[in-house]
Structures are given as structure tokens and as C-alpha cells.
Structure 1
Amino acid sequence: MKETLMNPSRSELSRRDLLQFGGLGMLGITLPQLLQAETQSKSRPRSCIFIVQYGGASHLDSLDLKPEAPAEIRGPYNPIASAVPGMQMCELLPRLSRIADQFTLIRSMTHGNPGHDGGMHVCMTGHSQPTEATPYFGSVLSKLKPATVNMPSYVWLQNLAGDVQPRYLSGGFLGSAFGPLRVGTDEDNPAAPEFRMKSFDPPTEVSGQRLLIRQDLLSGIESGQKFSRRPVTNSFGEFQTKAFDLITGPAARQAFDLEQEPATVRDHYGRHPLGQNLLMARRLIEAGVRLVSVTAWAGTPPGEKFRNVQTWDMHGESSGLGSSFGTGAYGLSWALPRVDEAVSALLEDLRQRGLLEDTLVVMVGEFGRSPRISYNGRDHWPACYSALMAGAGICGGAVYGASDKQGAYVQDHPVSPEMFGATLFHALGIPPDTRFGPDGFSFRVSDGEPVQELFA
């Protein structure tokens, strides 16, 4: 194990005229502005699958166990050896333990916001004190390095619940053009037998023939302005063409169709929301999507009533959720085996397909859980928690940073949100000091510096 690594029928059509014609609305398209007109390098760009352990996973019971701590700290699970000497993980993560040489654990993540709403905003922006309009990682990547094929640049699989504001569906100050296409809401997700991707469907009152007629009409409008000097309308026309191709062509639909996968592969990932969402994420990255965020909802056990997708907010019996160490929907004995199954399958699949070299995989929540157990649960704890990173140049078989003896505070090599964000962008080929913003230059991509020790 690497140390420290342990350690658009006049000659010119105005934008206003175009808006009065209805733009994309004439097509009956209600897709968000997911496609950008810019093109980038023709070589395969780096992409990211970001697994969001929404609710805040317990580092003490998964990636950073403390077997020598008192019982009220250490919890009921035992550590097991991994494929990397000196790296131990929870006994409920045997498959991940066997491939520990493919990822790095960061055990010194830290920030100061203990709320789900604020903590999630910190986690997904890479800023300790983000503004209301600070964009998420996927929106920034969509702006700076959009998809080079006719696919959305940014997709979010599975919703978040009501205790966080819907910032994740916007593009922040970059605008809705850079927000994600969200797929899956609560129990309507790729693991459900009757699930079908509906985001590319035109309104029910618009037939395929009417859609073609509307596209021809828009093309005719645009032909009257081919000598226009207005770049906005020209770009808008390109966006229309891409959007039309997206909803009428087969490529995107196939990428979102898990029925294209052999049953054995679907089984390998696990027939639960996290497993099927990660399999879809792999298909999307393979098809050219730049960043896929996946809410790490582990699903609901048979016979248990669905509450929400916040698997990892395990407060225990005091919140009426049952023991955090049980097999209910909010129990680690239910959730961790599904993480083990799905994340290990993803990493192995990416490696076998030659995709891991260009795909960054991240798994982290908005914070960790408190050291002390109360009512068979743990509370929010942003002072110290863990993350898993793999691919895109990240070292395998390493641990970076350390927590103290009780997993309460960072002991060595703290990783702030800014450092984490800078590391993510660096792995994706974007220098942290890259300028961007509504005007193109007012902000840096990150105010931090990447953790260079994490890279091979």
C-alpha cells in the first residue's frame, strides 16, 4: 500500500422573433437544454461516474473501522483484510476488498456544514461556502468539456428527496443548459420491472409525422436567416438539430435501455436501484455522456414500505427507522452488501472494457456519521469522513489521510472540499485555475489544489 497514500421571412430573424415562433416548443420538445453547440477534441475525453451516498454514509462502519475503540464507537462490524496489505474494510464489503488494488480510499475528508441541504451543496460544488448559484461538478464539466456525440453531457440517475433544494437539477449560474437530464424518481427507476425511459418521448399529442413537419418548418425559418450575423440564433439552430436528432434517433434510447444487456450482467450488478443505475451509468459513459451522478439508493427490502431514497441517513431507532445496523431500508446490513455488489461490478466492468483508464469513479456522501452510537444510529458528522476514488489516473491500492482513534477528526492530510474538487477536475483534464462563468472568466473552476499524491 502506497504511503502518504496512506497517508437561429426576413433577411434576418431576430432572437425575439425566434422566441415568438416558439423555438424548440414548435417541435413539442420539453427536454431541458442539454446539448451544447461547442465541440471538443475528437479523442476520447475523460468522464466521471459520481456515486452520491445521499444522507451521509458512516465511514466508521464501512471504509474506516476502528476495531480498538470502545463498543459505543466501533459498532458491531469487524474489519477484514483486503487485497492490499494494511488496508482493511468492513466485513460486509468482501467483493470490494478483493479488488482494493483498483481504488484509493481517502479517510480525511472534512468540512463544516452538518445539514443535508448545505452539506450536499458543499459536496457537489467543491466549495466550503458556495453561493446559492454555484454550479455542481457536472454542470461545470458540461460547460467546459461537453459531450462530443449527440448525447446529453450530464445525467443524474435517481432523484434526491425533499430535504435538499433542487439545485442539483439546475446549472447554477451557468443556466439550465448545463443542468442534468434526470432519470428515475423514487420507485420508478431502472430496477423496476415496468420501467421505461420517457425523457425523449415527445408529448402524446405530437405524432412522429407532426414532429417531422415541425422540424421542416423550423428549418425553413432558419434558411431565411443564413446570412445572419447573430451567433446566438446560429447556435440555437444547431442546438435544435441536435435535440431533434436526440429524440428521434436510436443512439440515446439504446444507451438508456438496460434490456440491451445480458441478464447475467444485470444480475452481476444486482437487481436493485443502485446496481441497475450503475449499469446504466456505465452504458451512458460508454455512449459519450461526460458525467453521470448516481444517487446511491439501495432500494427497499421485500415487504417493507417505501419511504424515500435517503438510504444513508441512518439515525437509528430515535427516528423510527430501525437499527442502523439492521437489515431494514435504513440499515447497513441491507445497504452495504448492495454497495459491495454494485460498485465492485462497475469497477470490474469498466476495467474489462478498457474504460477505467478514462473514467473517474467517485463514491462519497455529503458527510459522515458521528463516532458515538446513540439509539442504534449515528448522527451527521462533517468533521471527518471517507471517500472512494478510482480510474482516470487515480492510484490503486492506496489510502490517503487518516482519522483519529475514534474517527472523529482528521489526524493527517485533511482534504477540504476545495482540494477534493480540484482533484476531481485535475483527473478529468481540467486545470483547477481554468477561468469560467456567465461571462466566461469571472471564476476559477476550483479554489483548491489537487492532491497530487493520489495520482499514479
Structure 2
Amino acid sequence: MDHSLFRRRNLLQTRRGFLGRAACGVGSLALAGLLQGRAGAIDRRTGILAQPHYPIKAKRVIWLYMAGGMSHLETWDPKPKLAELHGQPMPESITAGQQIAQLQGQTLNCFAPQHPFQRYGESGQEISTIFPRIGETIADDICILRSMHTDAINHDPAHTLMNTGSMISGRPSMGSWLLYGLGNEIDNLPGYVVMVSTGKYGQSQPIAARQWHSGFLPSEFQGVQFRGQGDPVMYVKSPQGVTPDRQRDVVEAVEALNAIEAEAVDDPEIAARISQYELAFQMQTSVPDLVNFSDEPAHIRELYGTEGGDGTFASNCLLARRLAERGVKFIQLYHRDWDHHGAIKDHVAGTAAEVDRGVAALVSDLKQRGMLDDTLIVFGSEFGRTPMAQGNGRDHHLAGFSMWLAGGGIKPGIHFGATDELGYHAVENRVHINDLHATMLYLLGIDHTKLTYRFQGRDFRLTDVGGSVVQDILA
């Protein structure tokens, strides 16, 4: 190690220290105002909470995010009345004054559900036949929320609201809030991992990396995107000729320099930088083992329908289980193929087939390993689709849609809430995105009103100024 680096660094700190000490008075007061709310170093292993507010029901979250706006009317919410009125004008009493996306000013006609529903399992859950494996294998494990509603009619703000609790960009994502609150106990993998897959039906929904950003929280809490094929992260392998010992020497030198900087500058980002260098070094050992699917038994690969590492949604589901086993707290799998403005009958069936097997396999696999009880599974989109036709497709819809939850303290084999008889408005036991977040945090042991971060003179939280725990769906 070149110790002259430290001598030069110390000289720099001495000069900076002199200038800093000279800049007293009004200037320092102004700086204090700018830095108001900046938190000191947070223990990455334990987070900000000394202990959870509630008993922990879920130790981790796997969020199966169907990006693009899944139609509830072809999937989870049967509407025989809508089928009966197919082709007839939508009642103005339902649509008058409502926010509509691309159908604004056009003739609004009822559009029947394009696929039949069937009762599955001992619970008799009504699920569309486009999800045969989900229906046949896990219907009794899921809780379908049929009364979701949101505030955003277009994709990007709707994704932002679903992930951060606000349509305003720049807020921390839910996974970041979770790590900020409870920390990440593992040293060799990120606590928050994101994977994205794409199918061949509908419009492929763009997903911005800021959907898993840490916002104003320290950057060590942001999500890390893993690729579905090849090395999950770039540069996980050392360059030729660089030994682990030599790389460790470089990491320790960089950490030492950052530590010197941290003594002179009260900036939590420096602590984040130190921990992330160390994490990157540890991942060079852990990641190759993570994606070595050869240790998966043949019957598990058959269950998922993949050998792993092929970039499909099913492969990402298998990798999600492996991440969960290794202690990753928040895992989000996007499948960005649900924007069905046209040809919805064929396209929704095609997209459903791309995820049906992987979802059913993941829940079944977790269950047989005894992990479903403390793993919270979330399945759904940023909004739903209209009961009105857009040609032979459906437009964006915010007033009522469906999601489902499973495991981790959720009451299994039930449906909760309802939309009206045409599937337009959520009318019974309505659940807002803030309520969903409050409930998820509760199952993770957190009071959503008490997990806050002071930024620019205001206390922020994931649920903003709303949110109530949906007690009726809890086991």
C-alpha cells in the first residue's frame, strides 16, 4: 500500500480544516440550515429502529410487479353483468366526471371479460382460466384484493406512487424504507434486489431505475438491479492477474481514505460509500454461488420450467427464492408486458402464460421449504384497465383494480373488497396504495407512522399523510 496517499490526504484535510474553521459565523449558520435533517451514520445491519414496533410476521418481501396495468377484468375480478352489457353504452352515471386516459371524449361502450373464470381450491376462489397453475396449486394460499384504487392514470406516476407512496419523483422506494428501518443483516449481498423480464405480448413497459432508488435516504439503502442472464452484476469477476489479496488491499486503502474524509466532513454518504465498497468485494464470492443453478434438483427446475439464468420471469422467480434463502429482505421482480390497449384477449392470455408457472412454482416452493409463513408475496400492477372498450383492448384505469397477497401473516384463501357490478369503481372495503404500504410495513414489524426521515425541514414517511393497516386480511 502506498502510504504517501495518506500523507497527501492528511495535508488536504489540514487545508480543508483551516478553511472550515475560518468559515465561522453567519456562513456556518446558513450551512447548518442547508444540512437540517441530515442523519448521522446508520448501522446498516440494524437500521434506525432499536427494535421493531410490532411482532414480525414477514421477514422478507417478494414483490411480483406486473408492469403496464394488468386488467382485473380478465384475471381476478369476475363481472357477469359487464358480459351481459357487452357492446352497449357505459352508463353515464358511472363515467361522468371521471378521469380517463386515452378514451377521453370517445364513445364509451361496455367490453365483456374476454376469458372465463373458474372456482379453484377448497376456498372456491374465482380466478381466470388464463392462470391454470396459480388456480390449481395456490388458490388456497392467496388473498385477492378486489378494491384497490390509485391516484395516477398514467404509467410513470403510477409506478412512482406504487413504489414510493407519492407521485412526486425523488422519494425513497419501499425497499429503501425497509432497509433504513430494519437494516440488512447479510454482508455479501444487497438487502434490496430488483430484476426485470420482458415478454412478447402487448407494449413493453419502460421501468426507470429511480423506482428502486433511495431518494433522500442514504444511498446504501437503494435497490440493486440484477441482470437475468450472464453475471447478475457488472464487473463481478476480477480482471485477469488481479488476485483476491491484491483486491482486498485496494478496498482497504480506499476505505481508509474514505474514513479520513468522514472524520472531516459530516456526510453519511461517505459511510455508505465505505460499506458499498466492502459489499462489492464480498459479492465477488457470493454472486457466482448464487447463480450456480446446478445445485438445484431436477424436480425443482421442472417445477419452475427453467434451468435458470435464461432471463425469463420463471428464472427470476427461481433466483428470487435463492436470494430469499440467503437473507435478502426485499426482492422485486418486474415483468413489463401488461399494457394491453389492443388485442387484449390474445395478449393477456399470452402474458399470463409467461408468469403463471413461475408464480405458482415460487409460492409452492417457498411453502414446501417452510418459508412462505414468513415471506410476504405481493402480486399486481400499478393500476387496472377500463371496463370500456378501446377497440379490442382496454385503457388505463385507476378507480378500481385487483392485487393479491400471500404468506407472511396474510389470511389465505379469501378475497377482500369489491368493485361495482361493471368493475369500474372500488366500492366495498376500498384499499389505497398507502393502505397497502401501511399493511406491508405492519407485517414487517413497523408502524408506518413512526418510520420517518427529516428532510428539508419536514418529516417524511412512506405513506405520506395517509394509510391504514387493512386488519381484515391479516391471519
TM-score, length-scaled by structure 2 = 0.74
Q: CA deviation at 1:215?
A: 2.9
Alignment correspondent of 2:106: none
Q: Counterpart in 2 of 1:258?
A: 293
Aligned-residue offset at 1:356? 0.9
Are residue 57 (structure 1) and residue 70 (structure 2) matched? yes
Partner residue, 1:301:
none
Residue in structure 1 matching 2:344, options 302, 320, 324: 324
Contact residue 80 and residue 91 of structure 1 kept, 8 A: yes
Q: Post-superposition shift, 1:332?
A: 1.7
* 1:451 to 2:467 alignment: no
AA partner of residue 217 (structure 1): A
AA matched with 1:167: R
Mapped to 2, the partners of 1:407 and 1:227 lie a distance apart of 59
- CA distance in 2 between partners of 1:112 and 1:240 (Å): 35
The alpha carbon displacement at 1:350 in A equals 0.7
Q: In the alignment, which residue of structure 1 is the partner of 2:93?
A: none
Deviates more, 1:106-115 or 1:266-275: 266-275
Residues 197, 263 of structure 1: alpha-carbon distance in 2 compared, 3 angstrom cutoff: farther
State the AA in 2 paired with 1:142: L
**Contact 1:12 1:228 (C-alpha < 8 Å) held by counterparts:** no
Equivalent position SS for 1:442: strand
Q: Which runs of 5+ in 1 are unaligned?
A: 1-8, 20-34, 297-309, 317-322
Per-residue Cα deviation, 1:12-52 (whole angstroms, up to 9, x for no partner): 969969x9xxxxxxxxxxxxxxx974323899971100111
Verify: 1:217 aligned to 2:260, yes or no.
no
User: Mean Cα displacement is larger for which, 445-454 or 287-296?
Assistant: 445-454
User: 1:322-373: CA deviations, max 9, x gaps?
Assistant: x2212xxxx1221213332111111111111111111110011010011123
* 1:107–1:403 CA contact under 8 A, matched in 2: yes
Residue 376 of structure 1, aligned match among 379, 385, 392: 392
In structure 2, the partner of 1:183 is: 226
1:156 Cα deviation after fit: 0.7
Q: 1:398-432: CA deviations, max 9, x gaps?
A: 11100111111112111011111101111211111
What amino acid is aligned across from residue 106 of structure 1 in structure 2?
L
For 1:16 and 1:156, locate their aligned partners in 2 and report how far apart those are by CA, in whole Å.
Answer: 38
* 1:294 matched residue in structure 2: 333
Kept after mapping to 1: 8 A contact 2:123/2:140:
no
Alignment partner for residue 118 of structure 1, among 142, 157, 166? 157
Q: In structure 2, what is the equivalent of residue 26 of structure 1?
A: none
Equivalent-residue separation in structure 2 for 1:225 and 1:354 (angstroms): 46
Taking structure 1 as the reference length, the TM-score comes to 0.77
Tell me how far apart the structure 1 counterparts of residues 152 and 57 of structure 2 sit (CA, whole Å). 37
Q: State the superposition RMSD in angstroms.
A: 3.4
Q: Distance in 1 between matches of 2:412 and 2:269?
A: 47
Distance 1:206 1:182, change over 3 A: farther
In structure 2, what is the Cα distance between the partners aligned to 1:433 and 1:324?
40
Query: Aligned-pair distance for 1:164?
Result: 5.2
Q: Output one character per residue of 1:188-223: Cα deviation in whole Å (capped at 9) or x when no partner.
A: x34xxxx33243525747833542341353466589
Counterpart residue identity of residue 451, structure 1: V
User: What's the CA shift for 1:172?
Assistant: 1.4
The residue identity in structure 1 corresponding to 2:224 is L
Is the Cα–Cα contact under 8 Å of residues 67 and 79 in structure 1 kept in the other structure? no
Secondary structure (helix, strand or coil) at the match of 1:173 reads: coil
Q: Which one of the candidate residues 61, 66, 89 is aligned to 1:48? A: 61
Q: 2:135 aligns with which of 97, 108, 111?
A: 97
Share of identical aligned residues, percent?
A: 27
SS, match of residue 370 in structure 1: strand
> Structure 1 residues 225 and 367 mapped into 2: Cα distance closer, same or farther (>3 Å)?
closer
**Does the C-alpha gap of structure 1 residues 232 and 86 become closer, same or farther in structure 2, counting only changes over 3 Å?**
closer
Partner of 1:358: 374
Match of 2:339?
Answer: 313
1:143 matched to 2:149? The reply is no
Tell me how far 1:231 sits from its aligned partner.
Answer: 9.1
- Inter-partner Cα distance in structure 2 for 1:55 and 1:220: 45
SS at match of 2:345: coil
Q: Distance in 1 between matches of 2:268 and 2:164?
A: 28
Q: Which amino acid aligns with 2:74?
A: D
- Contact 2:437/2:467, CA 8 A, preserved across alignment: yes
